Structure 1
Amino acid sequence: MKPVQAGMLAFKLIVTGVLLWFLFRKVDIGPVATRLVSMQAGWAAVALAVLLGQLLLTGVRWYFVGQLVGAGIGFGLASRLILVGQFFNQVLPSSVGGDGVRAWLLSREGISIRHALVSVICDRAAALVLLTVIVACTLPIVILSGDAAIPYAWPLAIALDALTVGGLLFLFLWGGAFSAWLISLPLTRPLGVVIRDLRLVLLSSAKSLWVVGLTIVVQAMVVMSTYFCALALRVEFGTAPLLMLPIIMLISSIPISFAGWGLRESAMVAGLGFAGISAGDALAISVSFGIAQILVGLPGVVVAVMSSYGRKKPSARAVIRPAK
């Protein structure tokens, strides 16, 4: 392991440890453990099924992203590698570590490493952009409802909405010229390629509508899976906590902790606390959701073991876009 990688791993372990230590000091773990061991199996199974379903839809979205950026990824291959990536997201230090595994395994299937990386990066970036849009829409609703006491709510909502709208307008109106300029400079060429292809993914064709629609459905299913975890724990969950969940998921996606642990729990306790959910209940929901993510990633182990990724396969190939 290189010194930089070792330093990042140490940093994430420290962040995870500090966040969990702080939570455990503030929250009585006894009731949390009691709730977890007495979960209702039916609702827990529904939560797992919904979470697995959103993974499969994520694979379909990645298929469309691959078509738009020039990587020929089949439905079956995309679905299998999404499951593998989900597993490694839970066991590698970063919550996006599975994305690197996806790109590497895709390159072993005959896709060029450049197309593989761009498809994975654009898939992740498109999901984050659209999650930000969802948060920009839901945050004002939460504030107007008056059911959540969020500090500095309106300045936060106005700033987020302005940045989101401004960013999308910039990408639509000037993204092409800006990416071309970045590509012309050797040091910024990779960033320019990502911006160019992200614009293709989100704003270019009917396939872009599929990407947008699937992302909205996927995020809604993640929210509903968390909601079903709350039902399994017998926690009352109203509209305000539901609308807070996209904000929590956006914060949890920041890759500064080990597989998202610690950061997700802190965001869940703080965010749901604004919506009236006790810290213990919020922590139980977050831990149960984290366990559910691990469980739905287990099929990825089977796929990784049963599939032969040791050699390149000629059946998959990159789709080269015509020069414009």
Structure 2
Amino acid sequence: MHARFKQAALFSVKLLLSIAVLVYIARGLDLQQLRTHLVSINPLLFILALALIFVQTFALNGRWELIMRALGVSLDWLAGWRILMISLWFNQVLPSSVGGDAVRMWLLRQRGVQWPEAVKGVAADRFTALIGLIVLMVAGLPVLMSRVSNQAAILAIGGLTLAGVAGTVVLLTLDRLPKRLIALPAIASFVRFGTLVRFLLLRSEHRGLLFGSALFIHLVTAAACYALARGVGAQLSVVDAAILIPPVVLLTAVPISISGWGVREGAMVACLGLAGVPSEEALSVSLLLGAVSVIVGLAGGVIWLASPERGSYSADKAAQAAEEPPGYGLAKAREVSSHP
């Protein structure tokens, strides 16, 4: 009962935050103009954006399959894609994307994959995506500085980028700490995880393809946003989309709202505003991107309805997995050295 109350309270807080941010953004906008942008979207460009995000799921699954293979797990491509699509559905209906990841782990266990490999595979997939995002932000920062005169915005995005770089470096080098520190249970799990990611990106057989896919996937998101922006008549260049969408994606990934709603809209309005895109157009791009994500998620919902695992699914178990502290599952993982 306590766990369900905690889950309901968390969901309520995130829902209120999403609504509050959306209301705050809408207060200063011309809502009639916003409605006009949404209903007058070029249908062909909307379909293009939808196709890009759908095709992106194939690349996402390919990256995940490479990671699982490096862990010694043979994951059938079609089975992996089905699991990924189902997780995207749960991303829409659970309080955060962490819930979708918990479902991914649960479905892997149903296929006989051991818990340590399931946890490491999903967590490494997430962190590899984060590294790709940070690399794009680092690469785009000089371009951003040459195209944007707003110093406060440059400092904010630069600070966000620097924080991402620092966090990544710290995690990947935790095993360099004194042995008495890395032996502590609270740190040891993160040390093993950092060692795993470093192995995947630096020493695994498919490291080039793995890293390249991480960059490609985020560029596809930027391309979808560019298509939506052009579809509502926004004057957004390809270069601006490539350097301004990654910060939006990074902020949206922070699990403080329902599926990123509200946070994504605020970040999109702020970032695209740096390229001269009016707030109404920027907000319409974000809302349309959210609609695209919902449509792709609904496709995953259809797959879930036909899934043989649905009868044994436990929402309580998935919620419990989603609520575990970051190091909990990783603490159950075996040493990375067991998977050279």
Instruction: Compute the TM-score of the two structures, normalised by the length of structure 2.
Output: 0.84
Q: Which runs of 5+ in 1 are unaligned?
A: 313-318
Letter in 1 for 2:150: A
Contact 1:130–1:212, Cα closer than 8 Å, also in 2:
yes
Pairing 1:238-249 to 2, within 5 Å after superposition: 238=237, 239-249=239-249
Pairing 1:1-324 to 2, within 5 Å after superposition: 1-146=3-148, 149-151=150-152, 153=154, 157=158, 159=159, 163=163, 174-178=173-177, 184-238=183-237, 239-309=239-309, 310=311, 322=338
**1:258 aligns to what SS in structure 2?**
coil
The Cα shift of 1:253 comes to 1.1
Q: 1:156/1:245 Cα in 2 relative to 1: closer, same or farther (>3 Å)?
A: closer
Contact 2:219–2:242, Cα closer than 8 Å, also in 1:
no
The Cα shift of 1:145 comes to 2.7
The Cα shift of 1:226 comes to 0.8
Q: 1:144/1:192 Cα in 2 relative to 1: closer, same or farther (>3 Å)?
A: same
User: What per-residue deviation string (whole Å, max 9, x for no partner) do you get for residues 44-79 of structure 1?
Assistant: 111111111111100000001112234332212221
Between 1:2-11 and 1:105-114, the stretch displaced more is: 2-11
Instruction: Compute the TM-score of the two structures, normalised by the length of structure 1.
Output: 0.87
Letter in 1 for 2:265: E
The Cα shift of 1:20 comes to 1.1
Between 1:210-219 and 1:67-76, the stretch displaced more is: 67-76
The Cα shift of 1:228 comes to 0.8
Contact 1:87–1:297, Cα closer than 8 Å, also in 2:
yes
User: What per-residue deviation string (whole Å, max 9, x for no partner) do you get for residues 110-129 of structure 1?
Assistant: 11122112211111111112
User: What per-residue deviation string (whole Å, max 9, x for no partner) do you get for residues 245-298 of structure 1?
Assistant: 111111111110011100000000111112211110000000000000111122
**1:35 aligns to what SS in structure 2?**
helix
The Cα shift of 1:204 comes to 2.0
Contact 1:69–1:201, Cα closer than 8 Å, also in 2:
no
Q: 1:32/1:117 Cα in 2 relative to 1: closer, same or farther (>3 Å)?
A: same
Distance 1:57 1:169 in 2: 26
Contact 2:200–2:207, Cα closer than 8 Å, also in 1:
yes
Distance 2:305 2:220 in 1: 28
Letter in 2 for 1:260: G
Q: 1:171/1:121 Cα in 2 relative to 1: closer, same or farther (>3 Å)?
A: closer
Distance 1:55 1:48 in 2: 11
Number of aligned positions between the proteins: 316
User: What per-residue deviation string (whole Å, max 9, x for no partner) do you get for residues 22-51 of structure 1?
Assistant: 012121221111211121111111111111
Q: 1:28/1:161 Cα in 2 relative to 1: closer, same or farther (>3 Å)?
A: closer
Letter in 1 for 2:273: G
Contact 1:142–1:243, Cα closer than 8 Å, also in 2:
yes
Q: 1:214/1:176 Cα in 2 relative to 1: closer, same or farther (>3 Å)?
A: same
Letter in 2 for 1:278: P
Contact 1:52–1:296, Cα closer than 8 Å, also in 2:
yes
Contact 1:69–1:197, Cα closer than 8 Å, also in 2:
no
User: What per-residue deviation string (whole Å, max 9, x for no partner) do you get for residues 72-103 of structure 1?
Assistant: 32212221111111121122211332111111
Distance 1:189 1:11 in 2: 32
Contact 2:50–2:292, Cα closer than 8 Å, also in 1:
yes
Contact 2:14–2:95, Cα closer than 8 Å, also in 1:
yes
Letter in 1 for 2:280: G
Distance 1:167 1:279 in 2: 32
**1:225 aligns to what SS in structure 2?**
helix
Letter in 2 for 1:79: W
- Counting aligned pairs with the same residue, the percent is 29
Distance 1:200 1:71 in 2: 16
Q: 1:171/1:185 Cα in 2 relative to 1: closer, same or farther (>3 Å)?
A: closer
Letter in 2 for 1:230: A
Letter in 2 for 1:123: D
Distance 1:287 1:27 in 2: 14
